[in-house]
Chains A and B, each alone.
Chain A
Amino acid sequence: MSNVIGIGAAPRRKEDFRFLTGRGNYVADIKRVDMTFGVFIRSQHGHAVIRGIDKVPALALPGVHAVLTGDDVAADGLGSLPCGWGIHGSDGLPMKEPPFPMLAQGKVRFVGDMVAFVIADTLELARAAAEAVVIDYEVLPSVVGVLEAVRPGAPQLFDDVPNNLCCDWELGDKVAVATAFKKAAHVARLSLVNNRLIGNPMEPRAAVAESNGGTGHYTLWTTSQFPHVVRFLMSALVLKIPEQKMRVVAPDVGGGFGVKQFHYGEEAVITWAAKRVGRPIKWVADRSEGFISDRHGRDHVTEAELALDQNGKFLALKVVTLANMGGYLSTFGPNIPTNLYGPLLSGVYTTPAIYCNVKVVFTNTVPVDAYRGAGRPEATFVVERLVDVAAKEMGIDRVELRRRNIIAKESYPYQTPVLVEYDSGDPMGCLEGALAEADVAGFAERKAASERDGKFRGLGYSTYVEACGLAPSRFAGRLGARGGLYESATVRVHPTGQVTVLIGTHNHGQGHETTFAQIVSEKLGVAFDNVDIVFGDTDRVQFGMGTYGSRSLVVGGAALSKASDKVVLKGKKIAAHLLEASEHDIQFEAGVFSVAGTDRSKTFQEIAGAAYVPHDYPLEILEPGLEEQAYYDPVNFTYPGGCHIAEVEIDPETGIVALEKYTAVDDVGTVINPMIVEGQLHGGIVQGVGQALYENAVYDDVSGQLLSGSFMDYTMPRADHLPNMTIKTHSTLCTHTPMGVKGCGEVGTIGSPAAVINSVVDALSHLGVLHVDMPATPNRIWRIIQNATMPLAAE
C-alpha cells in the first residue's frame, strides 16, 4: 500500500502544523463560560508558623468569591498529597512520611509553600484580593542545605522526623566492598556537589477546573505529563471524588522534563475550589511562581571512592550521598536519589562490588523530584568523574582506563552487583565510534592552537548507561513503588480502514503523534496520514501511566505494537472467512491479507469494512468491529547509553568556558524516526550542558529565599551558548521489548554533564585541578585558576 511510512523513516512531524500556525491548545488558552480566576498566596518565608490568617479585608473587595486556606481543607476532611513511592531504610523501617497538605496547615516549610487560594471574577481582582489577605507568621530559622540539615541543632521541619532525616537508604554489599578496598593498589576519592536545577519547561504550569452540579462530574485541564495518574491520586486519595466522575485533560503541554509529572497541590485545590464557588476557575503560574513551586531537581552532596588494582581494574565502588528532598515528599521524590541512582553506579563497567548509602533529607526548599534523567545523571556524574580522577592519579590514559573496565559486548546480558541486569549493549563500540567522530586524533593540534591564543583546551569523555523504560511493575513494587508502571494502547480501526490510536502516554514535544503513527503504518500497512494518535484525556483514553523516564516508546510503543498485532490477528480471522480459507493459511503483509500460495486477497480496508458491515461475517465465532487494546508491562528496564565527548576552550583571563565541540554516539536500540531521536538528543544534551556550565538554583542559607528566582538570575542555555553537536547512533537491540527499542528521551541529559566537566577539568589539569563543581561558571573557573596559580604568582 502506498504512503506507508514505517520504522526507520523520518517523516516530518504530524503535530507541527498546529504549533507552527498558533493553533496549539495549551491550558492557558482555555476559556470557559463564567470562568473565574484564582491566585495562590505562597509563603514568603522559608520556615514559619502561621499564627493566623485574616481573610476579611480580601473578602470585602468586589468580585471576590472565596479565600480558601488549610483550615478549609481540614474542615472538608480532604487528604494530603500522596507520595508514590515508599522506600525503606537500612534499618528496615519505612521512610518518614509526614503529610504534605494541599494548603499549609499550621506551618510553612519553603518559600512558595501554598497558604491560601483566592478566587475572583478577574485575575486583577484576585491579585488585589491576595494582597489584602493578612497572614501573621512567626518566622523560624530555615535550613536549606543537606549538610546543615542533618547537623545537631539544625532547625527541624517536622516534630516527628528527627534530624530532618527521611530515610537512611543503602544498596549493595558493604562487606564485599570493604574487603575489596583493603586489597586495592589505589583508591581514588572525590567529594562533589550535584547542583540543584529548575526544569523550567517554557510553558508555565496552569490549570482550569469546573464541576457540573447536575451530574456531579468534575473536569480538570492541567499541564500534566500523566493525566490518568493525576485523576487516580487526586480523586481517590486527596479529594475523595468517585474516580469515574473525574475527568482530567492534559491538552497540548509546552514541555515537561519531569516538572509536570507530579500531582501538584494546585490541581487538587483548584478542583475542590471549583465545586465550592460553583464556577469554573483558571490559574496560570507566573514564571516567578514556577521558580518557587515547580519541583526542583538533583541537589546531592556526595563522597565517592573507587578501589582499583595495580592494572587499573575496578575492584569496588563506595558512594555516600546526602540527597535534598526539600520541604515535603513529592510524588516520586524519595525514589529518585535511591532506586534511580544506586543501581546506575555500576555504569558500563565490570566493577564487582558496589555499596551505596543515601541519606534522604528534608530542608526548607522547594520539594525535589524527578527532572530529566532523574537520579541517573547524578550516578553517571559520580562514576565518570571518579574514573577520570583515578586515571589521572594512576597515570593511565582516561580512554585506556575505560577500555580496561568496560563490559564487553559478548558479556551481555550482564548482571551488575546493584540489582539490575543489562540485557544488551556495546559501550566499547560507542566509545570507538565517538573517538572517530570527535576527531580525537586532531585534538592535540587544536589544543596547541588554543594555547597560542592564551587559552586552555580540554577534552572530556563520558561512557555511560542508564536504566529507563520505567518500569517492570513487579520489580518496581519490590523497590517501593505504590503503583503499576505498565502502559496501555487501543488501536481503533474505523470502517474506512483509517485508524485512531488511544494511548496512555502524553506527547509534549517528543513527537509521539509521528512516531506512533509510523509504528501503526508499518504494522497494519495503513497510510501514515490515516493514523491519528489521541492522548491526554481520561475520558477518551482508557488508562495510562503517562510520559516520563524515557518510557513512552519503550512501554507505550510496546503496548501499541501488541494492540496492532491483535488487530492483525482478528483481521486474519475475518479474512479467512471471506476468502474461505483456514486462518492459518492467511498471511498479512503490507496491508494485504492473502491466502498463502494463491492470488486471493483482501485489503486491510476491505477487512475493516467487513468488520463493521458484518453481512458476510463469522458472527457465530467473532464479534463485529475492529478495535483492540493491549496493556504492556515490561519484563526489565531498558539500558540505553553511549559515549559522549565534549571539547571546551577556557579563557583564563575571564574564566569563560566555551563549549567548542560535542559528539555523542548513543545506543538507543531500534530507531523509529531518526530525525526525532536526533532532536531528543540535542535537547537532552543541552539540558546537561546547562547543568554543567550555567544552571544553578541557589538559596540564601539564612532566609531560605531563592536567589535564582527568574530568568534574570537562573541561566538558561541560549542559542549563542552552544555549538552544533554531532549525533550518531550505534545501536544494539533491546532483547525484551517488542521492537528492540530502548528509549532516547533522557540519554542526552544523563551523559553530558560528566562529559562537559571532564573536559573542563582536562583543560585545567596542567594546574593540578582534579575536580570542578557544577556549574563551571566564569567566576568559579577564575577562582580555581587563581588558587592554582597563586603560589606561582607569589614567587
Chain B
Amino acid sequence: MRSFAFHRPTTLYEMSALLGGVADSMPLAGGMTLLPTIKQRLAAPAALIDLSKIPQLSGISAQADVLTVGAMTRHVDVAESELARSKIPLLASLAAGIGDPAVRNRGTIGGSVANNDPSADYPAAVLALDAMVVTDRREIAADAFFRGLFETALDPGEIITALRFPVPSAGGYAKFKSPASRYAVVGVCVAKKAGKVRVAVTGAGPGVFRVAAMEAALERTFTPEAIAAIKLDAENLSSDIHADAEYRAHLVTVMAKKAVMSALQTS
C-alpha cells in the first residue's frame, strides 16, 4: 500500500490533537471500508489515527431507556451483547447480519455510521430508532446526521464517540442482502416508541431515508397489513445490476412488513 504514518492515541484529547494537527490524516476505526479504499488507491491519507486504544470509545451501557454504544464497539460485540439483546433486540440482530464473521470481528458501529454507505445496515437503525449521534464536539440528532451518499453532518476531524439509542417499545429490522456483497439491497428498520413510529430504509436510495406514509399508517395500526399497499415511487430509488428501481420499491414494502412482523414477535 501507499505509505502513511500511523498514530495510536489512548485518550480523546490526544486523538483530537492528532486529527487537528497532522495534515491529511484520517481516523481509522475497524478499517473494513477505509483499508480497501486505500488499497485500491482511491484514498491517499498521509496518516491514519487509530481509535482502537481509546477506552471511552468502546462498550455498551444502558441508562433507563437509553442504550449507549461506544463508537468503536464492534459488530460482534453488539450482536452478542446481552444488554443490547434485551434492550433493543433489533440492534443485536442487525449487527449479527452485517458482512461475515471476520468483518463483524473488526467493523465498528461508529465507522459504519460515519461512512454512511448507502447500503450499510446501521444507518437504518440509527434513523429509525431516532438515535443521538454523539461526537467529540456535540450531539447530532439522527434526522440531521445523514445527508445522502457517504455524506454526514460531521465536520472535518470530528469523531463519533458514541450512539445513544432510545429503547423502543417495539422494533424490527429486515434486510434483503446482496448474495454477492452481503450489503443491503434493501434494509428496512421500523421502531415504535410512545405511539410514534419511524421507518428508515437503507440500500434503496442514495442514502438512508424515512417513509412518512408507512410511519403514519403504522401509527394507526402497527401490523404488516397496514403498510402492505404502500409502495414507494421507483423514480427516486437506485437501480443496478442486482436490483432495478421498481424491484427495490417493491422490496421496501416487503422488508417493511417483515420488520413490523419481527417487531411484533420480539416486543
Contacts and interface: CB of A to CB of B under 8 A. Distances in A.
* Direct contact between the two chains A and B in their complex (CB within 8 A): yes
Interface of A: 124, 127-128, 131, 288, 653-655, 694, 696, 698, 707-708, 711-716, 718, 721, 777-779, 782-783
Contact of A124 (B1, B183, B241, B247): B1
Contacts of A779: 242-244, 247
Nearest to A775: B179
Contacts of B254: 653-654
Contacts of B251: 654
Contacts of B3: 124
Contact of A716 (B180, B183, B250): B180
Contacts of A713: 180-181, 241-242
Q: What 4 A-B pairs are tightest by C-beta distance, nearest first?
A: A715-B180, A712-B181, A779-B247, A715-B179
Interface of B: 1-3, 40-41, 176, 178-181, 183, 240-244, 247, 250-251, 254
Contacts of B176: 654, 778
Nearest to A713: B180
B241 A707 contact: yes
Contacts of B41: 127, 131
B181 A708 contact: no
Nearest to B176: A654
**Which interface residue of A653, A698, A711 has the most chain B CB atoms within 10 A?**
A653
A783 B247 contact: yes
Given A694-B179, A707-B240, A783-B247, 16 more contacts: A127-B41, A654-B176, A654-B251, A654-B254, A707-B241, A712-B181, A713-B241, A715-B179, A716-B180, A778-B176, A778-B247, A779-B242, A779-B243, A779-B244, A779-B247, A783-B244
Contacts of B181: 711-713
Contacts of A778: 176, 243, 247
Contacts of A712: 178, 180-181, 183
**Which interface residue of A127, A711, A778, A779 has the most chain B CB atoms within 10 A?**
A779
14 contacts: A124-B1, A124-B3, A654-B251, A655-B247, A708-B241, A712-B181, A712-B183, A713-B242, A715-B179, A716-B180, A721-B179, A777-B242, A778-B243, A782-B247
B256 to A, nearest CB: 12
A708 B247 CA distance: 19
Question: Is chain A's interface secondary structure helix, strand, loop, or mixed overall?
Answer: loop
Contact of A782 (B178, B240, B250): B250
A185 to B, nearest CB: 41
Contacts of B40: 288
A11 B183 CA distance: 42
A713 B181 CA distance: 7
Nearest to B239: A779
**Which interface residue of B40, B244, B250 has the most chain A CB atoms within 10 A?**
B250
A777 B241 CA distance: 10
Contacts of A696: 241
Contacts of A721: 179
Contact of B180 (A131, A653, A714): A714
A711 B103 CA distance: 15
A771 to B, nearest CB: 20
Contacts of B179: 694, 715, 718, 721
A545 B205 CA distance: 52
B175 to A, nearest CB: 11
Contacts of B240: 707
Contacts of B180: 694, 711-716
Nearest to A707: B241
A711 B41 CA distance: 18
B241 A698 contact: yes
Nearest to A655: B247
Contacts of A128: 2
Contacts of A655: 247
Contacts of B183: 712
Nearest to A780: B247
Contacts of A718: 179
Contacts of A783: 244, 247
A708 B179 CA distance: 13
A694 B176 CA distance: 15
A284 to B, nearest CB: 14
Contacts of A654: 176, 251, 254
B34 to A, nearest CB: 16
Contacts of B247: 655, 778-779, 782-783
A711 B251 CA distance: 23
B43 to A, nearest CB: 14
A54 B1 CA distance: 25
B1 to A, nearest CB: 7
A713 to B, nearest CB: 6
A708 B1 CA distance: 24
**Which interface residue of B179, B247, B250 has the most chain A CB atoms within 10 A?**
B179
Nearest to A782: B247
**Which interface residue of B181, B247, B254 has the most chain A CB atoms within 10 A?**
B247
A716 B247 CA distance: 22
A295 to B, nearest CB: 21
B112 to A, nearest CB: 16
B8 to A, nearest CB: 23
A124 B243 contact: no
Contacts of A715: 178-180
B2 A124 contact: yes
B208 to A, nearest CB: 19
Contacts of B241: 696, 698, 707-708, 713
A718 B99 CA distance: 13
Contacts of A708: 241
A707 B180 CA distance: 13
A445 B187 CA distance: 34
B98 to A, nearest CB: 15
A288 B42 CA distance: 14
A778 B186 CA distance: 13
A712 B243 CA distance: 14
Nearest to B180: A715
Nearest to B244: A779
Contacts of B242: 713, 777, 779
Contacts of A782: 247, 250
B244 to A, nearest CB: 6
Contacts of B1: 124
A223 B3 CA distance: 30
A694 B241 CA distance: 12
A777 B3 CA distance: 41
A653 B2 CA distance: 47
Nearest to A718: B179
Contacts of A653: 254
A696 B40 CA distance: 23
A719 to B, nearest CB: 10
A699 to B, nearest CB: 10
**Which interface residue of B40, B41, B178, B181 has the most chain A CB atoms within 10 A?**
B181
A733 B254 CA distance: 53
Nearest to A698: B241
A778 B185 CA distance: 11
A131 B44 CA distance: 14
B231 to A, nearest CB: 12
A610 B197 CA distance: 91
Contacts of A707: 240-241
A39 to B, nearest CB: 12
Nearest to A720: B179
A783 B3 CA distance: 48
A698 B179 CA distance: 16
A635 to B, nearest CB: 45
A654 B242 CA distance: 13
Nearest to A717: B179
Contacts of A288: 40
A774 to B, nearest CB: 14
A721 B242 CA distance: 16
Nearest to A288: B40
Nearest to B243: A779
**Which interface residue of A127, A721, A778, A783 has the most chain B CB atoms within 10 A?**
A778
A658 to B, nearest CB: 11
Nearest to B257: A653
